[in-house]
Amino acid sequence: MIIHKKILVLFLSGLLPLCMLTGCWDQRLIKESRLILVAGLDVLPNNKIEDTVIYPVVNKTSGSSGEVKSVMASSYGVTTRDARFRLDKKVSQNFDPSKNRVFLFGEKLARQDMYASLDVIYRDPKGAVNAMVAVVKGTAKDALSIKSEDSPLLSVYYPQLLRSSSEIGLFKITTVQSICASMFDPGIDFVMPYIKPNMKTKDRTNVIGTALFHKTKMTGTLNEKESLMLMLLNKEKAHYSRFTFKITNKQKVKEEDYVTITVNKLKRDWSIKIDKNNHITVPITLSINAAVNELPSDHLNSHQRAIKIEKKVSKEMTQLAKKTLSNLQQANADILGVGKHIRAFQNDKWIKLNWDKDYKKITFEPKVKVTITQHGIIN
Amino acid sequence: MVQSSSDIENNKERLLENLHQPSDFATRAITFQGKRGLLLYLESVSDTVKIQKSILTPLSSNEKATIEETVTSAKVGVYTNINEAATRLLKGDCLLLIEGDCSIYAASAESEVSRAPEEPFNEKVVRGSHDGFVENMNQNIGMIRNRIEDTDLVFKQFSVGKKTKTKVVLAYMDSVVNKDILQEVERRIESIAIDMIVSPGFMVEFLENKSFSPFPQFLPTERPDRAAAHIMDGRIALLSEGTATSLILPVTFIAFFQSPDDFNSRILSGSFFRLLRMLSFLVATTLPAIYIAIIGFHFEILPNELVLPIKASLEGIPFPPIVEAFIMVFTIELIREAGVRLPTPIGQTIGIVGGLVIGDAVVNAGFISNVMVIVIAITAVASFTVPTYEMGASIRLLTFPLMIAASLLGFLGIVMGMMIILLHLCKLESFGTPYFSPFAPIDLQGLKDSIIRFPIWKMNHRPRDVQPKDTDQQQRTRGWAKRAPKKRR
């Protein structure tokens, strides 16, 4: 027993310095890290990658928790990592992108190849894969050089902007992680929010629609209404998916020509039919229960009028759906995942298809049926 | 061995010699049936009123009967050994020496100095009994007897301490207690060879298996209702003379988090309080460690909204997180230790100076970040919610190794530290019974009274960790409730 104790004491006294002398080599103190909260990537005319970052700086005065402000820095290199390396040389403290919240991509870079510039994040175990992504019309640097009045910190402004736009049904929040699988899946493609900074006032950025991708490249865009419709076609209902349509053309007051509906309930029925000539037809039926939000011309208490509006809106929405789907096909972006569906359920047909080319040839047959179920509280 | 003689003066001298001429020695000459006699007692431990009533008055009136028949004291012993007689004298007995009689008569006349039972300071409850043990053993035994009126309730007396001869009593239910455990307890008590037993702390250290374990293995309590409840569970209560604290043994980890209040309040609130206490145990042991690990290693797990406030509060702090935490914990322990023994008015001043002034100034001066102050303050408050003082102290001790581990290895260090603590808890035994029951070994029945408390009418079995002889403590407690009729389809 005594010998055992001696061994134990020796062992412990050997262990103690081992613990104490290792020091803090793997420590990563938050107070010594330069937290990158927004990053933007652009491609320069000479094909170099420009990385622009926003980080917060705390102006600490004694007694208070300090005032935080955004600082921008940018640098370029041959790859994203190289640009970051150069950036680190400029920025004090340890460059740390693990808390990055938003990635903005210049349109030019997005049209080249997305994966190449995101590779660095996927490879890093501390990479911020939950950062939101968006494509900027123009350069990302422009979007990051605005001075927003909504919030002094761009790291707060952009996430809030994207989140609130997703609430009104323009797009689903896309993150670095969520687009990863679609980049390499031949049967499905992805979209990203499409934003445009106001370069005259330099105080705001507008969401102008969605950017369509095919595999890793951006191939087209949708405007706001088409983006809303794409969400519905994709069976995604946001809190407030609203559509405004012109229903008449004769009122004196222009506003009275329009109606605004909100989608309350959404049901999508679709099937994929492949005939003998390998021609693919996709009938899509959307059944929508809608609430009327705005109808200045009123008289919704009449049943006939309601049916009339329903018919008109259904027609407009069917038109919109057609337009949206043809835009998708033009961009070769299979956002609905038709290819994935065929691969899963009709694999014998799938292996004969060349989806890169055949997607453009399929026929979508959209049909939207709107039923007004809520009139608002006045009638 | 000094035998008494028939010479009473000689006997008295020998007794005095034996007791080293005590200053509180009192003597009075009497006559009994015409014979000269001496009455000896120690003023400090004997009750003069009792002597007057039950010895002097009968002696002067009775003419024929023997001493034993005459004296009306509860107990009368006859001794011929001077040493034994002297021992009786120390217990408060009054000695009678009669001319021409070799025997020494010892009539009980001990004065019972005791205070009125009060609610124990550190085991207050909101509802229920506000009774507490006192320093007098007989009174304490009485309190338990009042609560358990059963012939099975046994009080077994031991005397520990070669010089102090402290009375120690084991209280248990004969029909419930596990005989093996009882035997082991008795064996350990009998083997204690020490001059002096002062406090229950002495008993604890002589009896417990692992003295260097951070976890207390006996439950000290000053509440008779708590002691009685544990006795009914098949545990043993150890009472000792001169202290108001009884020790419950063997005991489990979970017992330190139970309070009579859990059962005095209703099921839902009782369960909520229990849950709160278990949570506070986790918070008190790990919160500073987790915070250190986060700001030193893994700040990417912070929610986005928290990153900036924490980063802002940490900006410009001159110390590494571990030093910062140690300074704060040290300060809080200082304030606590300073406040414990000070009279209440000064104690409050310490609280204000320590809590408000130091806390505020240290942040303003930029030595400690305000988030660290919040973390350490929550930890301190959490450690005081544990109903037993001993467990609270253990928890505060456990914080330190975990903090060091977190500062060396981050979450990995915390996991390793918690693993060691858990291993130790699973391995720990209290008189051969598993300390971490009902978690390890898992006891589904026992879990009813652990993290949350089930309705009392669901607890039909006694806790299994002590392996009681009689496992059922109740059945069909709600006999009035009809069984729900089967639903017809």
A137-170: pLDDT as tens digits: 999 999 999 988 888 888 889 999 999 999 998 9
Most confident range, picked from B16-20, B26-30, B412-416, B483-487: B412-416
Flag whether B90 is in a domain: yes
Report CA-CA distances (Å) from B196 to B18, B117, B161, B246.
20, 26, 5, 18
Considering CB atoms only, which of B313, B364, B410 is closest to A62?
B364
Q: B294 falls in which pLDDT band (50, 70, 90)? A: very high
C-alpha neighbours within 13 Å on the C-beta side of residue A4: 1
A274: pLDDT strictly greater than 70: yes
Chain A CB within 8 Å of residue B125 CB: no
Per-residue pLDDT of A214-261, as tens digits, reads: 989 999 999 999 999 999 999 888 888 888 888 888 777 788 888 899
A23: pLDDT strictly greater than 70: no
Burial class (CB in 10 A: 0-12, 13-18, 19+), B478: exposed
Q: Quick one: pLDDT at residue A238?
A: 83
Cβ contact A140:A52 at 8 Å? yes
What whole-number distance in Å separates Cα of residue B472 and Cα of residue B461? 5
Query: HEC states along A147-210?
Result: CCCCCCCHHHHHHHHHHHHHHCCCCCCCEHHHHHHHHHCCCCCCEEEEEEECCCCCCCEEEEEE
Residues B300, A22: C-beta atoms closer than 8 Å = no
Q: A2 falls in which pLDDT band (50, 70, 90)? A: low
Q: Which of A164, A198, A222 is the last residue of a domain?
A: A222
Which ranges constitute the DSSP H helices of chain A?
2-21, 80-90, 107-112, 114-123, 140-144, 154-167, 176-184, 224-233, 303-330, 338-345, 347-350, 355-358
Q: Quick one: pLDDT at residue A74?
A: 92
Q: Quick one: pLDDT at residue B485?
A: 61
Nearest chain B alpha carbon to A64? B364
If one counts the domains in chain B, the total is 3
> Do residue A181 and residue A165 come from a single domain?
yes
Compute φ and ψ for B142, nearest 5 degrees: -60, -40
Kindly report the pTM of this predicted structure. Answer: 0.83
Nearest chain B alpha carbon to A28? B297
Report CA-CA distances (Å) from A319 to A271, A315, B9, B109.
20, 6, 129, 110
Nearest chain B alpha carbon to A153? B308
Q: pLDDT higher for A77 or B489? A: A77
A181: pLDDT strictly greater than 60: yes
What whole-number distance in Å separates Cα of residue A229 and Cα of residue B130? 71
Q: Which of B221, B251, B281 is the last residue of a domain?
A: B251
Residues A60, B308: C-beta atoms closer than 8 Å = no
> Do residue B267 and residue B244 come from a single domain?
no
Flag whether A19 is in a domain: no
Flag whether A347 is in a domain: yes
Flag whether B454 is in a domain: no
Q: Quick one: pLDDT at residue B107?
A: 86
The candidate with the shortest Cα–Cα distance to B131, out of B119, B146, B114, is B119
Give the torsion sign (CA, B132, B137, B139, B145): positive
Per-residue pLDDT of A37-94, as tens digits, reads: 999 999 999 999 999 999 988 877 655 556 788 889 999 999 989 998 999 888 888 8
What whole-number distance in Å separates Cα of residue A215 and Cα of residue A359? 13
Q: Which of A222, A250, A274 is the last residue of a domain?
A: A222
Tracing tokens 């009884």 back to the chain, one arrives at B246
Flag whether A266 is in a domain: yes
> Do residue B307 and residue B416 come from a single domain?
yes
Mutate one of B212, B302, B307 to test the A interface: name it (highest A CB count within 10 A): B307
Chain B CB within 8 Å of residue A22 CB: yes
Q: How far apart are the first and last CA of chain A?
A: 91
Most confident range, picked from A242-256, A266-280, B27-41: A266-280
Flag whether B257 is in a domain: no
Tracing tokens 């123009």 back to the chain, one arrives at A138
The token duo for B17 is 């010699």
> Do residue B143 and residue B96 come from a single domain?
no
> Do residue B400 and residue B286 come from a single domain?
yes
Interface of B with A in 287-316 (CB under 8 A): 294-300, 302, 304, 307-316
Flag whether A6 is in a domain: no
> Do residue A174 and residue A46 come from a single domain?
yes
Q: Quick one: pLDDT at residue A313?
A: 92
Domain span including residue B360: 263-434
Q: B484 falls in which pLDDT band (50, 70, 90)? A: low
Residues A19, B366: C-beta atoms closer than 8 Å = no
Flag whether B439 is in a domain: no
Q: What single-letter amino acid sits at A180?
A: C
**CB B279: neighbour CB atoms within 10 A?**
13
Residues B410, A26: C-beta atoms closer than 8 Å = yes
The candidate with the shortest Cα–Cα distance to B30, out of B21, B38, B41, is B38
The token duo for A339 is 């290819």
Tracing tokens 């359920």 back to the chain, one arrives at A345
Per-residue pLDDT of A304-333, as tens digits, reads: 888 988 999 999 999 999 999 999 999 999
> Do residue B383 and residue B279 come from a single domain?
yes
B170: pLDDT strictly greater than 70: yes
> Do residue A231 and residue A358 come from a single domain?
yes
> Do residue A63 and residue A179 come from a single domain?
yes
Flag whether A18 is in a domain: no
Flag whether B190 is in a domain: yes
Flag whether B24 is in a domain: yes
Determine what percent of chain B is predicted with pLDDT higher than 70. 98
Give SS3 for A227. helix
**CB A183: neighbour CB atoms within 10 A?**
17
Chain B CB within 8 Å of residue A64 CB: no
Cβ contact B215:B253 at 8 Å? yes
> Do residue B98 and residue B51 come from a single domain?
yes
Q: B489 falls in which pLDDT band (50, 70, 90)? A: low
Cβ contact B197:B166 at 8 Å? yes
Flag whether B231 is in a domain: yes
Averaged pLDDT score across all residues of chain B: 87
Compute CA A337 distance to the chain's CA centroid, rounded to the nearest angstrom.
17
Flag whether A14 is in a domain: no
Contacting residues of B for A60, CB less than 8 Å apart? 312, 315-316, 366
Cβ contact B106:B11 at 8 Å? no
Question: B111 CB contacts (<8 Å, ≥6 apart)?
Answer: B45, B46, B47, B50, B92
Q: How many residues does chain B have?
A: 489
Helix (H) or strand (E) holding B61: helix B57-61
Report CA-CA distances (Å) from B331 to B22, B324, B354, B391.
50, 11, 8, 21
> Do residue A189 and residue A321 come from a single domain?
no
Flag whether B462 is in a domain: no
> Do residue A55 and residue A146 come from a single domain?
yes
Q: What is the CATH number of the domain that holds A286?
A: 3.30.300.210
Cβ contact A52:A42 at 8 Å? yes
> Do residue A188 and residue A249 come from a single domain?
no
Cβ contact A43:A105 at 8 Å? no
ipTM: 0.81
> Do residue B58 and residue B159 come from a single domain?
no
Q: Quick one: pLDDT at residue B180?
A: 92
Give the torsion sign (CA, A249, A255, A256, A257): positive
Q: Quick one: pLDDT at residue A102?
A: 93
> Do residue B238 and residue B268 come from a single domain?
no
The candidate with the shortest Cα–Cα distance to A238, out of A228, A247, A248, is A228
> Do residue A204 and residue A274 come from a single domain?
no
Contacting residues of B for A27, CB less than 8 Å apart? 296-297
Q: Which of A206, A222, A238 is the last residue of a domain?
A: A222
Interface of B with A in 234-263 (CB under 8 A): none
Nearest chain B alpha carbon to A97? B300
> Do residue A235 and residue A303 come from a single domain?
yes
Cβ contact A143:A195 at 8 Å? yes
Q: Which of B198, B227, B251 is the last residue of a domain?
A: B251
Residues B366, A31: C-beta atoms closer than 8 Å = no
Flag whether A111 is in a domain: yes
Q: Which of B230, B251, B272 is the last residue of a domain?
A: B251
Considering CB atoms only, which of A28, A68, A101 is closest to B304?
A101
> Do residue B405 and residue B295 come from a single domain?
yes
What whole-number distance in Å separates Cα of residue A244 and Cα of residue A225? 9
Per-residue pLDDT of B342-355, as tens digits, reads: 887 887 888 788 77
> Do residue B286 and residue B241 come from a single domain?
no
> Do residue B284 and residue B393 come from a single domain?
yes
> Do residue B198 and residue B305 come from a single domain?
no
Domain span including residue A247: 225-379
If one counts the domains in chain A, the total is 2
Per-residue pLDDT of B405-457, as tens digits, reads: 999 889 999 999 999 999 999 999 888 889 998 888 888 888 888 888 888 88
Determine what percent of chain A is predicted with pLDDT higher than 90. 49
B488: pLDDT strictly greater than 70: no
B268: pLDDT strictly greater than 70: yes
> Do residue A104 and residue A208 come from a single domain?
yes
Cβ contact B380:B393 at 8 Å? no
Q: pLDDT higher for B188 or B102? A: B188
Q: What is the largest CA-CA distance in chain A?
A: 105
> Do residue A173 and residue A74 come from a single domain?
yes
Q: Please give the interface size between A and B, counted as residue pairs whose CB atoms are below 8 Å apart.
A: 70
What whole-number distance in Å separates Cα of residue B3 and Cα of residue A352? 120
Chain A CB within 8 Å of residue B408 CB: yes
> Do residue A236 and residue A263 come from a single domain?
yes
